[in-house]
Amino acid sequence: EAPWIYRQRLGCPSTSLQSQSTRSSKVKRAVSSQMGLFGVLPFLLVSCITFLLILIRRRDATKGKLPPGPTPLPLVGNLLQLNIWDIIASFQKFQEQYGSVFTVYMGSRPIVVLCGYGTIKEALIDNAEAFGGRGLMMGMDESIRDYGVVSTNGERWRQLRRFSLTTLRNFGMGKRSIEERIQEEAQFLVEALRKTEGHPFDPTFYLSHAVSNVICSVVFGQRFEYEDKQFVFLLDVINKSFRLMFSTASQMKNFFPGLMRILPGPHQEVPKYMKKLINFISQRVQIHRESFDPNCPRDFIDCFLAKMEQEKENPTSEFHNENLAVTVLNLFFAGTETVSTTLRYRLLILLRYPEIEAKVQEEIDRVIGRNRSPSLEDRSQMPFTDAVIHEIQRFIDVSPLAPPHSVTCDTHFRGFSIPKGTTVVPFLSSCLHDPQHFQTPRKFNPQHFLDERGSFRKNEASLPFSTGKRVCLGEGLARMELFLFLTTVLQNCHLKSLQEREEIDISADVRGSSKLPPPYNLCMVPR
């Protein structure tokens, strides 16, 4: 006969021969065994959790003494203590609680977080070699993770980084300098803005097209009309894959990589988009090959093809088709969203502070005038504009967390032992808001970058591009764009808000670990 509790569940009738008393004693026994079960279950659960915690602690003890942090649970790690919609706020809380180096667990993976300028400098600059590895970038598609410059390590990364830096520094890129390419694009941007004829519009489209065109010009040797079908296709695919890679489902890969690999969801679409992008780039490479002249490289792809030619006898060369396609893809991903978000956010801040816009325009008129395009040489004579550009980058903090690093060897740091291969995340936001380096860290204040005489003053804690061996490879290019786009637009247009300035909200829309300006419209009036 099946035990009572199962018969109840299975809906079996109780036998009619059983007397009332036998039935009631059976009921009592069943109830007491059920109660026993409920008493035992929590005990078993607590024992299992304790056992797993001990295992985690023992494993960490054998791995080294990691910095302190919130107590992780088995399997989920610190998932329950982290606000995955606002990781920045969670990290700020942990920094207050545990200090400038703490450990959080993403699932069963420990991640060491570095906070504040002193700590980040000591790790990324003073111990550059140890902290210069790239950690596993979970959000990135597996088909491209092993190639290119952003997510690789060792010789591959070293060679591709050196090559990309040299090429972006303008050597061997044909007749036109990168500065000229940006100046040209800035003029196209102003022309497009003029066509809005003072009507309200959302600047996102114009700014992202202008910024993407700079990368197109550097990489493909060609800019596109903003309505060009190929260009619109390229930007659409980049945009969609960017969103998917930073979606919550993709972020959950950090916690449960194995599970997320098989679970359905938007993150499973990423490889499809990657394939489209790689196909697009491969077609462009093929077109380049047909008109390639090794003595006159026109752009990044030509320079790479020339390097492939030079190294064709070397069987271990890193200059091959896969690395070419993914490095180009890396430049698009790393160099478009960051710059265009900065430009978009910057216009919003200037709408909020029209007196600052007026002061920048006064400097533009005095140094550049209205009859020629701004050039990089002008920057050194424009301390106020330079300070505003730096302060906007500090204040808006578009990359609050650097992508994951990893330690390349067992590392002793501030009394802790971090085993080789451990993921380390520089919390750049904590640097940009470090109260020891900025007088009013949470307020927009260009004085942070000016001395008493009004000259530009560098601030070592201002690290929006990170620092050390992995410092942003496009920093030089980005700084050129940020200066030339701003000065060209303000030389030609006034910004007009649709709201009273006091009503303009400049606080960021935080999504996971990214910060974006709130959506807004504005008008541009020709000067």
Residue 119 CB, nearest approach to ligand HEM (Å): 14
Cβ closest to ligand HEM, residue 134 vs residue 223: 134
Tell me how far apart the 2 most distant CA atoms of the chain are, in Å: 108
Binder of ligand HEM out of 123, 144, 334, 495 (CB under 6 A): 334
**Is residue 400 close enough to count as binding ligand HEM by CB under 6 A?**
no
C-alpha 331/C-alpha 212 separation (Å) is: 10
Given the complex with ligand HEM, which of 63 and 188 has the nearer CB atom? 188
Direct distance between the N- and C-terminal alpha carbons of the chain, in angstroms, rounded to an integer: 93
Task: Indicate the residue among 79 and 334 with the shorter CB distance to ligand HEM.
Answer: 334
Q: How far is the CB of 45 from ligand HEM (least distance, A)?
A: 40
DSSP letter at 522?
E
Q: Which stretch binds ligand HEM (CB under 6 A): 138-146, 278-286, 458-466, 510-518?
A: 458-466
Q: Convert residues 340-359 into a mask of x (bound to ligand HEM by CB under 6 A) and - (unbound).
A: --x-----------------
- The one-character DSSP state at 474 is T
The residue behind tokens 């077609």 is 283
Q: Which of residues 112 and 331 has its CB atom nearest to ligand HEM in the complex?
A: 331
Q: Does 133 bind ligand HEM (CB under 6 A)?
A: no
Does 339 engage in binding with ligand HEM (CB under 6 A)?
yes
Residue-wise burial string across 348-379, b where 16 or more C-beta atoms lie within 10 A, e elsewhere: bbbbbbeebbeebbebbeebbeeeebbeeebb
3-state secondary structure of 372: coil
Closer residue to ligand HEM, CB minimum distance, 256 or 485? 485
326 makes contact with ligand HEM (CB under 6 A): no
- Complex with ligand HEM: residue 188 or 354, whichever CB lies closer: 188
Which residues, 6 or more positions from 387, have their beta carbon under 8 angstroms from its beta carbon? 446, 447, 448, 449, 450, 456, 457
**Counting contacts by CB under 6 A, is residue 111 touching ligand HEM?**
no
Q: Is 161 in the site for ligand HEM (CB under 6 A)?
A: yes
Query: Residue 207: CB partners within 8 Å, gap ≥ 6?
Result: 189, 340, 343, 344, 485
Instruction: Please spell the DSSP secondary structure of 382-442, one letter per residue.
Output: -HHHHHHHHHHHHHH-S-SSPPPEE-SS-EEETTEEE-TT-EEEEEHHHHHT-TTT-SSTT
Gyration radius from the chain CA atoms: 28
Stretch of residues binding ligand HEM (CB under 6 A), selected from 112-120, 171-179, 351-359, 465-473 = 465-473
Can residue 212 be called a binding residue for ligand HEM (CB under 6 A)? no
Q: Helix crossing, 383-396 with 475-492: angle to 10°?
A: 120
Q: What is the dihedral of CA 52, 55, 61, 66, to 10 degrees?
A: -30
Hey, which residues between 471 and 490 contact ligand HEM (CB under 6 A)? 471-474, 477-478
471 or 504: CB nearest ligand HEM: 471
Among 107, 135, 221, 335, binds ligand HEM (CB under 6 A): 335
For ligand HEM, the binding residues (CB under 6 A) are 134, 149-150, 161, 330-331, 334-335, 338-339, 342, 398-399, 402-403, 426, 464-466, 470-474, 477-478
